[in-house]
Chains A and B, each alone.
Chain A
Amino acid sequence: MENGSLDAFKVIKVDVTKLTRAALEGSGLGTKEMDRSKNMFVLGLCYWMYNRELKNSIKFLEEKFAKAPNILDSNVKLLKAGYAYGETTEAIETRYQINPAPMKAGVYRNIMGNQALAIGLVAASKQSGLPIFYGTYPITPASDILHELSKHKNFGVRTFQAEDEIAAICSAIGASFGGCLGVTASSGPGIALKGEAMGLAVMLELPLVIINVQRGGPSTGLPTKTEQSDLLQAMHGRNGEAPLPIIAACSPADCFNAALEACRIAVEYMTPVMLLSDGYIANGAEPWQFPQTADLPKITATFITEKNGGDKFLPYKRDENLSRPWAIPGTKSLEHRIGGLEKEHETGNINYENENHQFMVRMREAKVNKVADSIPLQKMDNGNEKGKLLVIGWGSTYGAIKMAVIQARAKGYDVSHAQVRYMNPFPKNLGEILYGFEKILVPEMNTGQFLSMLRSKYLVPAEGLNKIKGIPFSSVEIMEKIESMIA
């Protein structure tokens, strides 16, 4: 089994015998009898994996072993132990993703979200010619990106397991300063720790990709469960006015495109970019009609090699994207200093003057907003661009919303679906789409973060459907809400 034949699967090694014996220690059962009840441990584990309750099985056991309390006890104990094992060992994270629509003709493979992210980063490296430096610290549910990436050293990938989350992002910033594509990843708690360094990257205006595989929060929260509650953290979770572009992946396979796109924006706009995934898509799998290298977009990375201001080098002189030049150490006569202090326009010298600060804050904001010029307009996933009800989502709610809207339309309701990938800046036509509908529904796995962004930017009376249970929406839940709003 260890000869690589299982490489195509996600293999979780569990020493069932040892764990069963440990769970039954002191039960008075002999080793043989203990080993015979291993199946209950595994059953408990499966219940956890598929989010089933133990109640019915316990009832069944109680009836079956009513006359043998000893056996009943050990069976129930094991069932619970198996379930608890799933909950506590963050190693196990298998969820199921169902593709709702009939699939297009073509060649497919299976892919999981974190794997797709890793492959997307490798592809971005190839398409940009920049080596990837991945600085990270293990955290559920993001660690699998590291596991996957560290296999691909023959693509020139350098992975660095740092001493903590802060070192992880800072090392990535150092690598970007040197001309690599620095990437770091974590989940909510780790992203919180990276906040100050993200602000530094905003000031340095260096390319950097920060991946947040979201999980239930706050604090340690629900490490193995999914949530979309870090959207506003991505938007605002830094001191000062520190905007950065945000991209959200909507399915396991989509993580690939999201990673490529995040890298493109980071490099072309010299900016940190936040990529949002979550536990559901990170560990979910789906069939992927994978692309060919030849079809992938090119990412243009340029290092400046000559002075750009007469006899001076101006590290903060901007191009038409408002992006600054990338001058890497080792380039003759471009020696310069950058840092976290406010800097003067063009020269990059430290500057505390009031007018300059306002100018620079606005400049950094304008640069991020300019990303909207290079992203596609928002498309409808299903339905018309105008109508009665728009269901608009972001990230991993995609599958459930898609399914619900297909069903609602089959019932004859005037419902449309749009799934937003570019969370900052929004696509230029997003407002127009919103204004074309009588009602707007925003399902998300938080208390209404995307909802508040839409409301405050576009002043629309959108309504939320919020689920904060650590598990994804079912299409039925969304369908019910659609019916209540439209019928």
Chain B
Amino acid sequence: MSTTITPAAAPAGFTAKDLVTDQDIRWCPGCGDYSILKQAQTVIPELGIPRENIVFISGIGCSSRFPYYMETFGMHSIHGRATAVASGLKATRPELSVWIITGDGDALSIGGNHFIHMLRRNFNVNVLLFNNQIYGLTKGQYSPTSEEGKITKSTPYGSLDHPFNPIALAMGADGTYIARSMDRDPVHLKDTLRKANAHKGTSFVEIYQNCNVFNDGAFEIFTEKSSKKIETLMVENGKPFIFGANNEKGIKLDGFKPVIVDLTDGNSANDLWVHDETDRVKAGILSRFFDNPAKEGHFPRPFGVFYKEERNCYEDDLNQQVADVLAKRGEGNLDALLRGREVWEIK
């Protein structure tokens, strides 16, 4: 299936090479993070943003080393708090292009609170969540996105936690741009990043990222050529849901119930569910395509933009309010403030 490429804006006078820092990259060889870094470094020079106006803020985890490898402004903050740090920066410097780099532990476990509040406030930032379904930096404990029963260092008898579905969580928190991509599909990832940047509001991109050391192959079924077409659903606005090795399957809606149909069986492509990324109800249904691929009759895992909505951004409203008060009351007079309403004199 072809992917529509979002056209690049006027280049900003620097190239991917100019985004490489002098720091040695510390990720394990073969880690999915490399690909994400590369795609980001490729896309960013196309966006028309001066390099000095770009800020990468991360929390803690393997992915959070990302800013050290990006020759922009950056902050490697503390665990789970990148979203909170970014909120203060964006609130006061709305003209900056702010990118948050986080992981499944960072955003969904220790930083879960800030993550949902960022989404509801809708700061105009991009949140890239590298989901590897494991704690890599601390060497292999299960994460809030690990599947139930996962055997890890901290769960020798299997994990008991029910995993988060990050897309559904973002839907529930009223995110205004919700997408999923993967490290192994550079074209799709680059396109998703471009779209995320073009969206005004909190653009949330969940990126399936392979941790080849502690959770190798977690997303293999979605990323490998042999199974990708069968197990994934590449969604595109205005296009019907079609998948399968030879595009022979489709998904239609029977009321609110999605049904997989065989297109070789007399079913017409015209009856299929056509993706409308602005339809909140349908996006909600789509976000629940989250079955374990081992389950009989499971739905394919969707990739692409699930949902998109225009809504006011917090920083715009904040600065507008300041401007309105200024217009109404005039610039503050410190002497009047110091004096207060009532004074008296002692002689």
Contact = CB atoms under 8 A, between A and B. Distances in A.
A163 B117 contact: yes
Nearest to B85: A174
Contact of B57 (A122, A131, A174): A174
A126 interface: yes
Interface in A152-194: 152-158, 160, 162-164, 166-167, 170-180, 182
Interface stretch (A99-107, A422-430, A450-458, A465-473): A99-107
Interface stretch (A16-24, A68-76, A262-270, A328-336): A328-336
Contact of A350 (B68, B72, B81, B339): B68
B226 interface: no
B174 to A, nearest CB: 14
B137 to A, nearest CB: 12
A335 B93 contact: no
B338 A336 contact: no
B89 A109 contact: no
Contacts of A350: 23, 68
B78 A330 contact: no
Given A160-B91, A178-B93, A330-B95, A340 B77 contact: yes
A170 B85 CA distance: 5
A133 B338 CA distance: 20
Contacts of A152: 332, 337
B322 A174 contact: no
A310 to B, nearest CB: 14
A237 interface: no
A129 to B, nearest CB: 13
Contacts of B54: 329
Contact of A339 (B55, B75, B86, B328): B75
Given A108-B345, A152-B332, A167 B68 contact: no
Contacts of A178: 88-89, 92-93, 96
Given A160-B87, A164-B113, A123 B92 contact: no
B202 to A, nearest CB: 14
B343 A108 contact: yes
Nearest to A184: B88
B325 A197 contact: no
Contacts of B347: 105
B321 interface: yes
B151 interface: no
A204 B88 CA distance: 15
Given A104-B346, A172-B88, A329 B78 contact: no
Contacts of B90: 174
B198 interface: no
Given A170-B84, A172-B88, A292-B338, 20 more contacts: A107-B343, A107-B344, A107-B345, A109-B344, A110-B340, A110-B342, A156-B326, A156-B332, A158-B319, A162-B87, A171-B91, A178-B92, A180-B92, A292-B335, A329-B55, A329-B73, A330-B53, A335-B73, A339-B76, A350-B23
Q: 3 tightest A-B contacts by CB?
A: A339-B76, A174-B88, A171-B88
Interface of A: 7-8, 103-111, 119, 122-123, 126, 131, 133, 135, 152-158, 160, 162-164, 166-167, 170-180, 182, 196-197, 200, 204, 290-293, 328-341, 349-350
